Amino acid sequence: MNLFIITISRSSICRRKSINFRQILLDVAIVSSIPVHFLDLFGTMIFAVTGALKAIEHKLDIVGVIVLSGIAGLAGGIIRDVVIGRSPPSALVDPLYIIITSITGIGILFLYRYVKNLMRLFLIFDAFGLGIFSLLGANIAFSMFGLNLVIMMFAGVITAVGGGIIRDMLVSEIPLVLRKELYVSVSFVGVLSFFILLYLGVNILISTIIGIIVITSFRIAAIKYNWNLPRRVFRNANGL
């Protein structure tokens, strides 16, 4: 009798796991649809622009511009894929990613005199790209490991800021995300919102959209109102 009960319990557990697994696959298929792939490519292009601008500021040649554009747009996703065991990284499998970052870098190099006057608009696009990449990374982590806050947080944040950190380090600068404005923290908040919504049973597509809106809105507000995290300010001998 006891053996029969154990068998039934195991069977029901397996069925529940099977149903959950199929639901995850279905949800991931929705999130991985063509519009989301387009947004991923759009985010890659936006971050590639930041790499190109940084390269031009430091007077790098066309090769340096292309390399820094590629690193800014792709490095975060590559690091994420390598760490969580998603091999080979999608940015290396699909040549469209490298093509987009290269064309973006070259385009910015030759159109710099016009682009530099549109920096305000670019910052808005950058905020949107931050939201896209953060939630893209969190979605990939969720599809592989389920509701694991640490892995989802890591995958989301490193996708969004990994490329920018390496970009700044290559030109001997302290990474912007570590010293100014709300950036990494905004990514944290957005991914945390995504996790909570999934935990409460909200559809993954709706949770993703809300997460992107949260990150984009907070980032734009931080730019507009000059919000910064507290930091230690050292005074000189004159008290200034």
pLDDT digits (tens, 9 = 90+) for 166-212: 999 999 988 878 876 788 999 999 999 999 999 999 998 899 999 99
pLDDT digits (tens, 9 = 90+) for 110-124: 998 888 777 777 788
Q: What are the angstrom distances between the C-alpha of 75 and each of 55, 119, 154?
A: 16, 23, 14
List CB contacts of 224: < 8 A, sequence separation 6 or more: none
Q: What are the angstrom distances between the C-alpha of 101 and each of 15, 57, 67, 171?
A: 45, 18, 9, 18
Q: What are the angstrom distances between the C-alpha of 239 and each of 233, 234, 235, 236?
A: 11, 9, 5, 5
pLDDT at 162: 94
- Tokens 């950058």, residue located: 126
pLDDT at 117: 76
Structure tokens at 42: 């759009």
67-79 residues labelled b (16+ CB within 10 A) or e (exposed): bbbbbbbbbbbbb
Q: Which residues of the chain have pLDDT under 50?
A: 1-19, 21-32
DSSP 8-state code for residue 22: H
pLDDT at 62: 95
- Predicted TM-score of the model (pTM): 0.79
pLDDT at 65: 96
